[in-house]
Amino acid sequence: MKRFLDIIGDLRIAFWLLLAVAVIMWIGSLYASAEYQLFDSLNGVRVQDWFSEKGLGALSSTWWLPALFFAFALLGLNTAACTLRRVMALWPRRTDMPAKRFMVLLSPSIIHLLFIGMLSGHLLTFTALTQEKAPIEEGVVLDLAGTGEFTVKSVKNEFFDKGSLLADRIRQTTVELSFMKNGVERTVPLEFLHSISMNGALLQLDMQKRKKSGAPIAQNPADETCNKEHNYHYAELLKETRPQLYIIATRDPGLFILIPGFALVILVMGWYFYQIGFGRESKAPPID
Amino acid sequence: MTIHALLYAAAAMYAAAFLLHLAGKGRGSFAALCSGFVVHTAYQVTRGWIAGIFIPNGMFDGLFLISWGMALAVILSKLLSDSEMAWESAAAPIFLFAVLALVYPKGLIPPTPNKLTVWANIFFLTEVTGQACFYLAGWFAAVGIFTKRVTNNYHSLIVWGFVLYSVAQVTGALWAYIGWATTFRWGSRHLQSAVIWCYFAAYLHLRFLPRWGAREKSWYAAAGFFVVAFNSLGSHLHEMGFPRIGG
């Protein structure tokens, strides 16, 4: 068992796997830029469905995706073995040192376990996500991703102050949704950045710019920006050309791992690096 | 006089800091760097009102923050580190990025409703300051290689950069989640951000690999300068064509 863990948990393998993952993602980013529409269609759908429907037909552009998942699988295995090996070496020594020192030594293992949790959470998101998106306007009745029927009662835009250079641009939109619960009509507001939960699905507001004729503008590859605002340039969102609003309904089991995992990994990592003086070699603990 | 005069003044002080460093005036160089940082900070704060109302997003616009973040990291390193290293030499890349900011469109990309959140501000602040630490580490590693005085003084910069960049990955994911219902999007921006994180995560493991000596680690850290540049500057350059206001 120890020999097995030593081989698959080797740190040299971890190093080269991390570099391999970086290289594959860099190659993938070039394909994602060159074929924006193809890879954008992967967002919001399960990766296995997308790959059998679109990926297999474009293998010359999508080959890196299975390679990436394979490399991540190996990295997860390597990290698990390495962590187990380290904890097995540390645990018998827990009474030989102060508890704080033991926790400092154990922290990298906890961070690595959280990293494995993050990988699992993302895998769950990519393979088990359900997402539906529909355009909305006042009066429309929808049933998305098992939310049950609800009606868009009203749509109200709030604009930036008249005196500013942003005057007449949308600051916030409030959509009132009504639905029946126990025979009683209920109304809830939905706004940008303020999602609501309906029958276990997460509802969020999204929008896309329109031409003056009212037709939505096809997504432009150039809109994949540093600001993650890939849908449209908001500079053009004036009162005269109101954007097309959408509601996105999402069921994502991976979030239950990812969201608490994010908080934990930052806390543990921050505490660990603080304890070792943020990389001063003399304060860094040995590997085992 | 527009507020952008402050950026020109800061760039001039960074240039002066480098020239004084070359002339062997260490204290003068550090004073010029600190002055440049103070003026640059004033500029970044003023950008919050560039639209005529206070919008914090203007303060955290990437390319304007890089040289500010680098100057801050150098000042803190000089004040807090035990090392006698010539930290002021970093005034050269700081000036280089300040020049990039000078030729960059200075207005504000009108913020979307999805961008008006503190998560976006924390994301940009930590992402850019993380990158600033990586750039500096690459610079000091390269200086060590070319002056044949290889040290590991840049190591703590990479650790700081990695922590900040990890916070950026988390806050960026949270922002994407509350804004777009997903923590990761299949697009070049997210993939390239992850490339940088993995590259420096790999670096942190080098310490445990005996075959990687100080010189090899320096080459790896120096190469990191280009890894960060190739995977981040593209989106900044791309945004040059975006409509802006108040510039």
Give the model confidence (pLDDT) of A122-165 as tens digits: 999 999 999 999 999 999 999 999 999 999 999 999 999 888 99
With beta carbons less than 8 A apart as the criterion, state whether A172 and A191 touch: yes
In this structure, are A275 and A204 located in the same domain?
no
**pLDDT tens digits for range A9-32:** 999 999 999 999 999 999 999 999
Q: How far apart are CA B124 and CA B129, in angstroms?
A: 8
Token match 């293998």: residue? A59
- With respect to residue A214, please indicate whether it lies within any of the assigned structural domains: no
Is the Cβ pair B113, A230 closer than 8 Å?
no
With beta carbons less than 8 A apart as the criterion, state whether B113 and B158 touch: no
Q: What is the pLDDT of residue B1?
A: 61
**What are the DSSP calls for chain B, one per residue?**
--TTHHHHHHHHHHHHHHHHHHTT-HHHHHHHHHHHHHHHHHHHHHGGGTTSS--GGGGG-HHHHHHHHHHHHHHHHHHH------GGGGHHHHHHHHHHHHHS--SBPPPPGGG-SHHHHHHHHHHHHHHHHHHHHHHHHHHHHHTT---STTHHHHHHHHHHHHHHHHHHHHHHHHHHS-S--SSHHHHHHHHHHHHHHHHHHHTT-TT--HHHHHHHHHHHHHHHHHHHHHHHHHGGGS--B--
In this structure, are A74 and A104 located in the same domain?
yes
Is the Cβ pair B187, A43 closer than 8 Å?
yes
Residue A282 has φ and ψ, to the nearest 5°, of -65, -25
Is the Cβ pair A287, B208 closer than 8 Å?
yes
In this structure, are A118 and A172 located in the same domain?
no
Q: Which tokens hold the place of A98?
A: 């102060």
From residue A80, how far is each of A25, A75, B116 by CA, in Å?
22, 8, 39
Q: What is the pLDDT of residue A231?
A: 44
Q: Which tokens hold the place of A54?
A: 């679109």
Q: Domain tally for chain A?
A: 2
- With respect to residue A227, please indicate whether it lies within any of the assigned structural domains: no
Q: Does A97 reach chain B within 8 Å, measured CB to CB?
A: no
With beta carbons less than 8 A apart as the criterion, state whether B189 and A221 touch: no
Maximum alpha-carbon separation in chain B: 57
Low-confidence ranges of chain A (pLDDT < 50): 217, 220-237, 282, 284, 286-288
In this structure, are A10 and A120 located in the same domain?
yes
Is the Cβ pair A169, B117 closer than 8 Å?
no
Q: Which tokens hold the place of A177?
A: 């949704």
In this structure, are A62 and A12 located in the same domain?
yes
- With respect to residue A233, please indicate whether it lies within any of the assigned structural domains: no
Q: Which tokens hold the place of B32?
A: 């010029």
Residues 6+ apart with CB under 8 A from B146: none
- Going B125 to B127 to B128 to B129, the CA torsion angle's sign is positive
Q: To 5 degrees, how large is the angle CA A231–CA A232–CA A235?
A: 150
Q: To 5 degrees, how large is the angle CA A210–CA A178–CA A213?
A: 15
Q: Does A74 reach chain B within 8 Å, measured CB to CB?
A: no
Q: What is the pLDDT of residue A1?
A: 76
* Through-space distance between the first and last CA atoms of chain B, rounded to whole angstroms: 13
Domain span at residue A20 reads: 2-129+255-283
- Chain A partners within 8 Å of B166 (Cβ): 265-266, 269
Q: What is the pLDDT of residue B21?
A: 96
In this structure, are A276 and A178 located in the same domain?
no
Residue A190 has φ and ψ, to the nearest 5°, of -125, 125
Q: What is the pLDDT of residue B205?
A: 95
Q: How far apart are CA A160 and CA B53, in angstroms?
A: 9
A250 → closest Cβ in B120, B172, B181:
B181
Q: What is the pLDDT of residue A238?
A: 52
Q: What is the pLDDT of residue A221?
A: 47
Scored b (16 or more CB within 10 A) or e, A270-288 reads eebbebbebbeeeebeeee
Q: How far apart are CA B148 and CA A270, in angstroms?
A: 34
- Chain B partners within 8 Å of A191 (Cβ): 113
Chain B 203-232, residues with CB within 8 Å of chain A CB atoms: 205-209, 231
Shortest CA distance to B238 belongs to which of B192, B183, B201, B197? B192
In this structure, are A25 and A43 located in the same domain?
yes
Is the Cβ pair A235, B186 closer than 8 Å?
no
In this structure, are A116 and A142 located in the same domain?
no
**pLDDT tens digits for range B113-160:** 999 999 999 999 999 999 999 999 999 999 999 998 888 889 999 999
- Residue A191: closest C-alpha in chain B: B113
Q: Does A212 reach chain B within 8 Å, measured CB to CB?
A: no
The 8-class DSSP code of residue A220 comes to P
Report domain extents, chain B.
Answer: 5-241
- With respect to residue A14, please indicate whether it lies within any of the assigned structural domains: yes
Write down the pTM of the prediction: 0.91
Chain B 25-54, residues with CB within 8 Å of chain A CB atoms: 50-53
Q: Which tokens hold the place of B41?
A: 């900070």
Low-confidence ranges of chain B (pLDDT < 70): 1
In this structure, are A124 and A260 located in the same domain?
yes
- With respect to residue A50, please indicate whether it lies within any of the assigned structural domains: yes
In this structure, are A42 and A101 located in the same domain?
yes
- Residue A129: closest C-alpha in chain B: B182
Chain A 103-132, residues with CB within 8 Å of chain B CB atoms: 122, 125, 129, 131
Q: Which tokens hold the place of A247?
A: 């509601």
